[in-house]
Amino acid sequence: MEQYPILSRINTPADIRGMDYSQLEALCTEIRHFLVENVSKTGGHLASNLGTVELTLALHRVFHTPEDTLIWDVGHQCYTHKIITGRREQFDTLRQPGGISGFPKPSESIYDAFTVGHSSTSISAAYAVSCVNHMKNNGLFSVAVIGDGAFTGGMAYEALNNAGRSKNNLVIVLNHNSMSISKNVGAFARYLSVIRSKPSYLRLKEQTEKLLDHLPFFGVRIKEWLRTSKSLLKFLLYHSTFFEELGFAYFGPVDGHDLPKLEQTLRRARELHKPAFVHVETIKGKGYEYAEKNPMAYHGVSRFDVETGNPDVAAADSFSVTFGNLLTRIADTDERICVVTAAMREGTGLSLFAQEHKNRFFDVGIAEQHAVTFCAGLASKGMLPVFAVYSTFLQRAYDQLLHDAAIDQLHIVLAVDRAGLVGDDGETHQGIYDIAFLSSIPGVTVYAPTTYKELEVLLRRAIYQTPGVTVVRYPKGSEPQKKIQGSNPSNDYSNWNKDGKIAAISYGRIFHHLFQAAGNLEQKPSVYQLHKVLPLSEKLISELMQYSKILFFEEAEKTGSISEQLCFALMERGYRGEFKAKTLPSGFIKQGKVEDLLKQWQLDAESIQTILREELET
């Protein structure tokens, strides 16, 4: 730590509250070095954290954390926050198994007020905390820090609408990145730019207030009169932005890298003791000069899907890019194909599609609810919409799938990426619940490829041969290296060995492990690979009735799993044999390498082989 003389002495925010600006400036430099050094090893979100160094320090200096509550939206920009709240020395364990999380986590620190990971939740939580503070009349503050990307999610607006009429000590900090605002983030992004471009108009208010602040006695009274009167002057002064219309005092835009100015603005917002909205402009990746010294580390994490918390761009050898390129080819000859993404163009492999079929590529912002109903609308007019979405984010659109698409059997296709365990991002991002929640929606069909070849067949089958809400789900990363050949995904399932005395079943990524495991055994089970996971094949069920023992291996949470549904279906038909399943638990799974997690839950090839051997012997 000798290269970080100042940082190495910071153990709690109290340590930075007494520092002067020259020390703080040096501290910011050290923190940027520290971030680049560490994130280059652990991976993670570099650019967004380089952009919020000063903002984090300013917030912890102006507000008295942890008594005042600080809630980060999405949370991937919390690294500086973690570094100065006692986790500097564990920072090399970021996102590692057993290490600290890449997101705020209350179980990790009292400074992490709320679990985050998904977008647009911070204002709801911060407003709730401000209500509690108000009820208790304890004078404490509640602060939400939210990016302009997260403002495309409707929840943020629900919360603003609810909070704006309160009198609580609530401060919303808009972290407005000047960099990487994609054109299609939507109309709100443009609105924020409009605000930015008319500072003189906004400064009028600031200057008037400052002037009045310097007029003792009368100044206060004039300000009070201005605030309460119905004059046009008041209207111009206090209704110049949408946030003011909603009841927030608006401050900004302020340079998010000018620490003194930033703190001054936050202090003014704090002094108001009513809902305030502070518009901060930051530059993602601020501090390039350090990143430039270590280009490999920087480039590894340099491209972002705007604000969604996902720095990883899908590799060329991945299900994501295979899907995206394939869909582009299908769209070449079918003008009904449209693709929708909720701000995840890169992550879901849609760069090529966006380029070649620009008019049928729709990035709707971080708005999964709207995305699904938008697809339903396209389908209602005969288009063939495909929504490419991570499993974990699809959770946001449960009602829209059920209510807007499934009731009318509108044919929309969901390309569910990152299905199953995802690894480093931990509990908030595991894609292990989609099987359960999709199963509860009547009429949904789910396909699960194990290889790229199967993905191709199943995607076409989903688009052209399946009615209603149809899902193709596949894991993060690439197909198995040892390829499986000879499956027939045009059928609902493939049967690889029919003469086993017991039946072993799986689908998707785990099927490959089962296939390997069974291949190594002398005495083999009958091996079934599901291509269509839902609804269950009647033919399969009758075929399975003949076995006295059935084993199911599944990378999904236990409750609501296909294992559970198949077991029930068999019992309904009078099955009296044994039925055993290895699934993931009905619980939350922490960060870790996917291979390790699968091993832990006995879903790796070796564990499956051991289980098969035991079950074949008894």
| Window 179 to 238, contacts with a copy of itself (CB under 8 A) | 184, 186-188, 190-191, 194, 198, 235
Tell me: does residue 132 bind a copy of itself (CB under 8 A). Answer: yes
Tell me: does residue 274 bind a copy of itself (CB under 8 A). Answer: no
Strands of 127-274 (E only): list them.
142-147, 170-177, 249-255
CB of 273 to a copy of itself, least distance (A): 18
105 is a catalytic site residue:
no
Tell me: does residue 157 bind a copy of itself (CB under 8 A). Answer: yes
CB of 221 to a copy of itself, least distance (A): 25
Among 481, 486, 574, 618, binds a copy of itself (CB under 8 A): 574
Segment near a copy of itself (CB under 8 A); pick from 81-89, 475-483, 498-506, 575-583: 575-583
Total residues at interface with a copy of itself (CB under 8 A): 108
Among 38, 49, 124, 310, binds a copy of itself (CB under 8 A): 124
Segment near a copy of itself (CB under 8 A); pick from 266-274, 320-328, 517-525, 578-586: 578-586
The 3-state secondary structure of 354-415 reads HHHCHHHEEECCCCHHHHHHHHHHHHHCCCEEEEEEEHHHHHHHHHHHHHHHHCCCCCCEEE
Q: Pick the closest to residue 398 from 417, 421, 414, 420 (CA basis).
A: 414
The tokens of 409 are what?
């059997």
284 is a catalytic site residue:
yes
Spatial separation of the C-alpha atoms in residues 104 and 32, rounded to whole Å = 19
Nearer to a copy of itself, 260 or 587 (CB): 587
| Residues in 449-508 at the binding interface with a copy of itself, rule: CB under 8 A | none
CB of 586 to a copy of itself, least distance (A): 5
Tell me: does residue 387 bind a copy of itself (CB under 8 A). Answer: no
CB of 456 to a copy of itself, least distance (A): 26
| Residues in 331-360 at the binding interface with a copy of itself, rule: CB under 8 A | 335, 338, 359-360
| Residues in 554-573 at the binding interface with a copy of itself, rule: CB under 8 A | 557, 559-560, 563-565, 567-568, 571-572
CB of 321 to a copy of itself, least distance (A): 25
Helices (H), 43-143: 47-50, 53-62, 79-82, 122-136
Determine if the peptide bond prior to 535 is cis (ω within 30°).
yes
Nearer to a copy of itself, 121 or 470 (CB): 121
CB of 216 to a copy of itself, least distance (A): 33
Helices (H), 9-165: 14-17, 21-42, 47-50, 53-62, 79-82, 122-136, 154-163
Tell me: does residue 545 bind a copy of itself (CB under 8 A). Answer: no
On whether the CB atoms of residues 118 and 152 are closer than 8 A, the answer is no
Find all residues with CB under 8 Å of 195, minimum gap 6, and list them.
Answer: 202, 241, 253, 279
Number of Cβ within a 10 Å radius of residue 195: 21
Burial class (CB in 10 A: 0-12, 13-18, 19+), 106: exposed
CB of 545 to a copy of itself, least distance (A): 14
| Residues in 31-70 at the binding interface with a copy of itself, rule: CB under 8 A | 69
Nearer to a copy of itself, 39 or 589 (CB): 589
Burial class (CB in 10 A: 0-12, 13-18, 19+), 127: buried
Q: Pick the closest to residue 413 from 330, 333, 492, 475 (CA basis).
A: 330
- Active-site hit among 32, 205, 396, 524: 396
Segment near a copy of itself (CB under 8 A); pick from 10-18, 78-86, 172-180, 395-403: 395-403
Q: What is the DSSP letter of 477?
A: S
Nearer to a copy of itself, 24 or 202 (CB): 202
User: What is residue 553's three-state secondary structure?
Assistant: strand
Find all residues with CB under 8 Å of 191, minimum gap 6, and list them.
Answer: 242
What is the pattern of x (binds a copy of itself, CB under 8 A) and - over residues 511-540?
------------------------------
Nearer to a copy of itself, 326 or 446 (CB): 446
Tell me: does residue 121 bind a copy of itself (CB under 8 A). Answer: yes
Distances (CA, A) of 333 to 74, 411, 485: 39, 19, 28
Find all residues with CB under 8 Å of 210, minimum gap 6, and list them.
Answer: none
Give me the torsion for CA of 466, 469, 470, 474, rounded to 10°: 180
Q: Give me the phi and psi of 312, to 5 degrees please.
A: -80, 120
CB of 205 to a copy of itself, least distance (A): 16
What value, to the nearest 5°, has the Cα angle with vertex 569 and ends 563 and 570? 90
Nearer to a copy of itself, 30 or 564 (CB): 564
Distances (CA, A) of 404 to 117, 377, 417, 493, 584: 26, 9, 22, 30, 30
Nearer to a copy of itself, 470 or 563 (CB): 563
Among 20, 165, 228, 289, binds a copy of itself (CB under 8 A): 165
| Residues in 396-455 at the binding interface with a copy of itself, rule: CB under 8 A | 396, 398-400, 402-404, 406-408, 427-428, 433, 436-437, 439-443
Among 19, 131, 457, 541, binds a copy of itself (CB under 8 A): 131
- Active-site hit among 87, 284, 360, 476: 284
User: What is residue 533's three-state secondary structure?
Assistant: strand
Among 169, 175, 373, 391, binds a copy of itself (CB under 8 A): 373
CB of 606 to a copy of itself, least distance (A): 23
B/e letters for 257-283, b = 16+ CB within 10 Å, e = fewer, are bebeebbebbebbbeeeebbbbbbbbb
CB of 510 to a copy of itself, least distance (A): 18
Helices (H), 214-258: 218-228, 232-238, 242-245
Residues catalogued as catalytic = 284, 368, 396
